[in-house]
Chain A
Amino acid sequence: QTVVTQEPSFSVSPGGTVTLTCGLSSGSVSTSYYPSWYQQTPGQAPRTLIYSTNTRSSGVPDRFSGSILGNKAALTITGAQADDESDYYCVLYMGSGTVVFGGGTKLTVL
């Protein structure tokens, strides 16, 4: 069974930069998995941030960026703000409509 790995938690100072990663239990993440990233605050539905590795969804500030770093997908937040404090999920597309969610990263801004 495919497992998508994310850091359980991360902390960043206001104005700082943080990079969250998304890996595979076996193998490397590449653009072929069309990695996407979603932000979720408590009680709310997820919001799409990044898709196809590095394409920002409409209305997403440019302080959010996506990339492949080594063998993982990465979400970088540059100039973190208080309202970036959320859970972040990556999703990898496995083909034929099948996707796998990562376990999520709880980001604290303090």
Chain B
Amino acid sequence: QVTLKESGPVLVKPTETLTLTCTVSGFSLSNARMGVSWIRQPPGKALEWLAHIFSNDEKSYSTSLKSRLTISKDTSKSQVVLTMTNMDPVDTATYYCARMDSRGAHFDYWGQGTLVTVSS
């Protein structure tokens, strides 16, 4: 059974760095067919893709947020970590991690999401 679960702070202050962890089970992060993305959704707004990491550790980032994002993984811990620097209230959102199956390049499993609020 494949599951993904996001964890991290509920509240961060402006200018702080956000660190989120996605813990996966039911598959290995070394599976060549699978990668993991981070996606966010501000309240009442659309989904926005942030970053992706492949099994071979290649990474890709949203053009608009690239300077603030870092994605990494620890295969032994089955975890994918996203850091976002210089947080701002507009970054308040539910953050999801999702597995991408390279066969069809789609998200086949999603985490439940974690709401992060940026406020002083």
Contact = CB atoms under 8 A, between A and B. Distances in A.
Contact of B47 (A1, A55, A93, A101): A101
Given A89-B46, A93-B105, A97-B54, A1 B63 contact: yes
Contacts of B58: 96-97
Nearest to B96: A45
Interface stretch (B18-26, B73-81, B85-93, B107-115): B107-115
B60 interface: yes
Dominant SS among interface residues on chain B: strand
Interface string A69-110: 000000000000000000001010100111111111000000
Given A45-B111, A98-B60, A52 B35 contact: no
B47 A89 contact: yes
Given A97-B54, A98-B60, A55 B104 contact: yes
Contacts of A104: 46-47
A101 B42 CA distance: 14
A36 B104 contact: yes
Chain B contact-residue range equals 20 to 34
Contacts of A91: 49, 106-107
B100 interface: yes
A38 B100 CA distance: 13
A48 B107 contact: yes
29 contacts: A34-B105, A36-B105, A38-B47, A45-B110, A45-B112, A46-B47, A46-B96, A46-B98, A46-B110, A48-B108, A48-B110, A51-B106, A52-B105, A52-B106, A55-B104, A57-B108, A89-B46, A98-B49, A98-B52, A98-B60, A99-B52, A100-B49, A101-B39, A101-B47, A101-B48, A101-B49, A102-B46, A103-B46, A104-B47
